[in-house]
Each structure stands twice: as C-alpha cells, then as structure tokens.
Amino acid sequence: MWYAKRGVSIVDETLVEKLLELAARLKETKGMRIFKRGYEKAVVLLEKGEEKGVFVWAPSLRCWLGTVR
C-alpha cells in the first residue's frame, strides 16, 4: 500500500509477477476455479483415453471431450 500511496513504481520483475498472480487469484470467483479444475481434468481424460484406447468402445466420449480443446 505504501507504494501505491506514494506513486512509486515497483521495478523488481519477480515481485511484480508475484503481485500480478496474487491479484489474479483474488479476482477469481469460486465458479471460475471450479471451471478451471473441470477443464484441466477433461484435458487429462482426453489424453489418457487416447493412450488406453477408451475411445474404441466409447467414441462419443471423444467428441464430448474434444470440445474442451
């Protein structure tokens, strides 16, 4: 807060990155976090399904998960 009140710029890149990451995290809603986790899991399911041949017996699952990418 001291920096903001004084109008001083922060020049340390790592500090700026951490502050931006923190600000983004604070702006995130619960729904956004849930959506991100679901999206990440869908991507993993798509990759694992391709590896293990799941889509041979469930081809519609590939189509459903294919909309993720």
- Predicted confidence at residue 2, as pLDDT, reads 63
CB neighbour list of residue 49: distance below 8 Å, 6 or more residues apart: 55, 58, 61, 62, 65
- Predicted confidence at residue 42, as pLDDT, reads 86
Neighbouring C-alpha atoms within 13 Å toward the C-beta of 5: 2
- Predicted confidence at residue 22, as pLDDT, reads 92
Per-residue pLDDT of the chain (69 residues; tens, 9 = 90+): 566 667 667 678 888 899 899 998 898 899 998 998 998 998 888 888 888 888 888 888 878 876 655
In the chain, where the domains are located: 2-66
